Amino acid sequence: MYTENIWIALFAHAECPEEGTRNVVAECLGRLTLANPQKFLPRLKAALESPSNLLRTTVVTAVKFTIVDQPQPIDPILKESIGDFLKSLADPDLNVRRVALVAFNSAAHNKPALIRDLLSQLLPQLYVETQVRVSDFCFVVLNDISRLLRKYSHPRFVMSSFSERTYSRS
C-alpha cells in the first residue's frame, strides 16, 4: 500500500553524493525488494541502465541486501536475474565494480547456489580485477579501492569462501 510512496522517496536519494546515505537507501530498497520481489526487482534491474554511476552503485548494493542466509521467496527470482546485476563487475566505474564484488562475495558466502551456474562467466572478470594496473609513470600508483578489488577478487579468497559454503547451503 505505502510501499510505492516509500520506493519513490528512497529513489529520490539514491544518487546522493554521500556514500553513507546511499548505503542506507540501498538497504531500504533491498528490504522493500525482499517484501515484494515481483514488483521491485525488475525496477532495480531497469535502474542498472542508468548513466549515473551513483545510482548503479546504489542498485547493486540494494541487491546485496536481498541476499540473506535464510531461504526467501525472492531466491528463485533472484537466481534468474543475479547475472544481470553481477555484470556490473565489468562496469567502467571503479565504485560500481567494488560494490558488485561485495555483492558477489555476499552471494558466495550466504547463497552460493545463486551464482554457481554463473562462475564460468564471472571468474574471468574476477581474474581481471586481480591484476595490478601500471600507470604511465615509471612507478606503480595503487589506488586503495583498486587494492581492495584485487584482494576481494583474488581467486583464493573467493573460492575458499565459496567452497566452504557450497555444500553446506543451497
Q: Residue 145: what pLDDT?
A: 54
> pLDDT digits over 137-146, tens only?
444 444 455 6
> pLDDT digits over 97-139, tens only?
999 999 999 999 999 999 999 999 999 988 887 776 654 444 4
The C-alpha torsion from 55 through 99 and 122 to 158, rounded to 10°, is: -170
> pLDDT digits over 53-112, tens only?
999 999 999 999 999 989 999 999 999 999 999 999 999 999 999 999 999 999 999 999
> pLDDT digits over 2-54, tens only?
899 999 999 999 999 999 999 999 999 999 999 999 999 999 999 999 999 99
**pLDDT band with cut points at 50, 70 and 90 for residue 168:** very low
Q: Residue 142: what pLDDT?
A: 47
Domains and CATH numbers, the chain: 3-166 (1.25.10.10)
Q: Residue 165: what pLDDT?
A: 53
Long-range CB pairs of 153-161, under 8 A, 24+ apart, other chains included? 153/101, 153/126, 153/127, 153/129, 154/130, 155/123, 155/126, 155/127, 155/130, 158/104, 158/105, 158/108, 158/126, 161/105, 161/108, 161/109
Look up residue 147 and give its three cell numbers.
587494492
Cα separation, 7 vs 164, whole angstroms: 36
> Residue 151 above 80 pLDDT?
no
